[in-house]
Amino acid sequence: EFQVADDPYIFFTISVVFVAVWFEASEPERLWTQENPEWTHQCPAYHGERPHVRLRKFVVVRVRLNHSLCFGITFFEQGVPHRYRHGHGGDYVVLYSHGKEPPKPHVNEDTVWDPISLVTEERITVSPTARLDCARIHTLEDRVKVRKIGSVHPKSLPALEDRDRRAVE
């Protein structure tokens, strides 16, 4: 169930993995595999355009007053990530479930970073095509409705902090 965090200072901590309802500008030529058409059509049009609405996954990398800075989680399909145009292969990190072997990167990926392990909530699995998109940092306000799905494993925290540090260099 999605809800506004009762105490955002406890919920939005570094390494938390969560899902949020996400709005993006309309791009008719792009195929959104996770778009929810019902939500999109319920949004009022602005100058004749409607946003795309979908569920999007994030990892908190920095906490600020009233908002958090997060990396998005994206997925590879046919060897090309949905958001690849926003970065290079070196901007992506393989994600995997703690206790399992990390999946091998696709042969066309330029991934050079160590994989990051996630500890997920019950009944949540990490796709072998899941990647942490370190090319862009997203700002999420504390009052956004969210659902926690896990966290970065403590042994992978140094890798997450390193990717965050390199993202702002």
Q: What value does the mean pLDDT of the chain take?
A: 83
Q: Which residue has the tokens 């609405």?
A: 53
pLDDT value of residue 7: 93
Task: Look at residue 103 and tell me whether its pLDDT is greater than 60.
Answer: yes
pLDDT above 90 as % of the chain: 51
Write down the pTM of the prediction: 0.84
120 or 47, which is more confident?
120
Task: Look at residue 152 and tell me whether its pLDDT is greater than 80.
Answer: yes
| CA 158 – CA 69 distance, rounded (Å) | 17
Is the separation of the CB atoms in 52 and 40 below 8 Å?
yes
pLDDT, average across residues 31-38? 55
pLDDT above 70 as % of the chain: 82
Structure tokens at 46: 């602005």
| CA 83 – CA 89 distance, rounded (Å) | 11
CATH code for the domain defined by 9-18+56-167: 2.30.30.110
The residues facing 154 across adjacent strands are none
pLDDT, average across residues 38-56? 74
pLDDT, average across residues 153-169? 92
Q: How confident is the model at residue 37 (pLDDT cuts 50, 70, 90)?
A: low
pLDDT value of residue 62: 95
Domain ranges of the chain: 9-18+56-167
Count CB atoms within 10 A of the CB of residue 155: 10
Task: Look at residue 4 and tell me whether its pLDDT is greater than 90.
Answer: yes
Is the separation of the CB atoms in 156 and 88 below 8 Å?
no
Q: How confident is the model at residue 72 (pLDDT cuts 50, 70, 90)?
A: very high
Is the separation of the CB atoms in 146 and 19 below 8 Å?
yes
pLDDT value of residue 129: 87
Q: How confident is the model at residue 76 (pLDDT cuts 50, 70, 90)?
A: confident
Residue 155 amino acid letter: K
pLDDT value of residue 141: 94
pLDDT value of residue 35: 53
The residues facing 9 across adjacent strands are none
